[in-house]
Amino acid sequence: MSSKDPDALPQGLANTLRAGQDAQRRRAQAHLSLEIYRAANGRAGSGDRRRPGPSVQAKSPRAPGDS
């Protein structure tokens, strides 16, 4: 091989890895844009899709009249 750097990856592999990194970067940017859109429009984001948190009853464990 007449490559300048003996530790360099073969060109095809380097291109494949770069394309994968580019695709991952685009997905992350699209996800961030969607989260910003949802926040700006008062919509639930991906973090809000988890199981529901404590319900209304759980917020007030004491019976009425307790002090």
Average pLDDT over residues 24-40: 96
Find out whether 24 and 32 touch, Cβ atoms under 8 Å: no
Give, as one character, the DSSP assignment of residue 62.
Answer: S
Confidence at 60, pLDDT banded by 50, 70, 90: low
Q: Considering only residues 40 and 63, tell me which one the structure prediction assigns the higher pLDDT.
A: 40
pTM: 0.49
The percent of residues above 70 in pLDDT, for the chain, comes to 60
pLDDT at 5: 81
Angle, vertex CA 43, rays to CA 21 and CA 27, nearest 5: 5
